[in-house]
Amino acid sequence: MTSYRVLVVTNLWPYEGDRSYGCFVKAQMDSLRPLGVDYDVMFINGRESRWNYLRAMGEVGRRVRAKPYDLIHAHMGLSGLVARCQFRVPIVVTFHGHDVTGEVERSGRITLLGRFFQVSSLILARLVPAIVVQNRAMRSALGVKSARIIPCGINPDLFRPIDLREARRKLGLDLEKKYVLFPYNPAEERKRYDVVEAVVARAREQVPELEILHALGMPNDRMPLFMNAADVFVLASLSEGSPVAVKEALATNLPVVTVDAGDAPELLKGTEGNYLVPRDVDAMAQKVVEVCRRGARSNSRESIVTRQSLERIAEQIVDLYASILKRRD
**Which distant-in-sequence residues (6+ apart) come within 8 Å of 75 by Cβ?**
8, 9, 10, 11, 12, 22, 25, 93, 94, 96
Same fold, 4-152+309-328 and 164-307: yes
259-272 pLDDT per residue, tens: 999 999 999 998 99
Query: Which pLDDT tens digit goes with each residue over 63-92?
Result: 999 999 999 999 999 999 999 999 999 999
**Alpha-carbon gap, residue 106 to 125, rounded angstroms:** 28
* Residue 114 pLDDT: 84
Positive or negative CA dihedral for 263, 269, 274, 279? positive
Q: What distance in Å separates the CA atoms of residue 273 and residue 108, rounded to the nearest whole number?
A: 29
DSSP letters for 312-326: HHHHHHHHHHHHHHH
* 250: Cβ contacts below 8 Å, ≥ 6 apart: 256, 267, 268, 271, 274, 298, 300, 301, 303, 304
- CA 219 to chain centroid, in Å, comes to 14
Give residue limits of the domains in the chain: 4-152+309-328, 164-307
- CA gap 242, 96 in Å, rounded: 8
pTM: 0.92
pLDDT in tens, 42-51: 999 999 999 9
- Name the maximum alpha-carbon separation found in the chain: 65
- Spatial distance between the Cα atoms of 288 and 197, rounded to a whole number of angstroms: 12
Query: 256 in the Ramachandran plot: left (φ > 0), alpha (ψ -120 to 50) or beta?
Result: beta
Cα gap 16→191, rounded to integer Å: 24
- Homologous superfamily in CATH for domain 164-307: Glycogen Phosphorylase B; (3.40.50.2000)
CATH superfamily membership of 4-152+309-328:
Glycogen Phosphorylase B; (3.40.50.2000)
Q: CA–CA separation, 134 vs 151, rounded Å?
A: 5
Per-residue pLDDT of the chain (329 residues; tens, 9 = 90+): 789 999 999 999 999 888 889 999 999 999 999 999 999 999 999 999 999 999 999 999 999 999 999 999 999 999 999 999 999 999 999 999 989 998 888 888 888 888 998 999 999 999 999 999 999 999 999 999 999 999 999 999 999 999 999 999 999 999 999 999 999 999 999 999 999 999 999 999 999 999 999 998 888 899 999 999 999 999 999 999 999 999 999 999 999 999 999 999 999 998 999 999 999 999 999 999 999 999 999 999 999 999 999 999 999 999 999 999 988 76
Query: In this structure, are strands 91-94 and 71-75 parallel, antiparallel, or unpaired?
Result: parallel
C-alpha distances out from residue 258 to 81, 213, 232, 273, Å: 33, 16, 10, 12
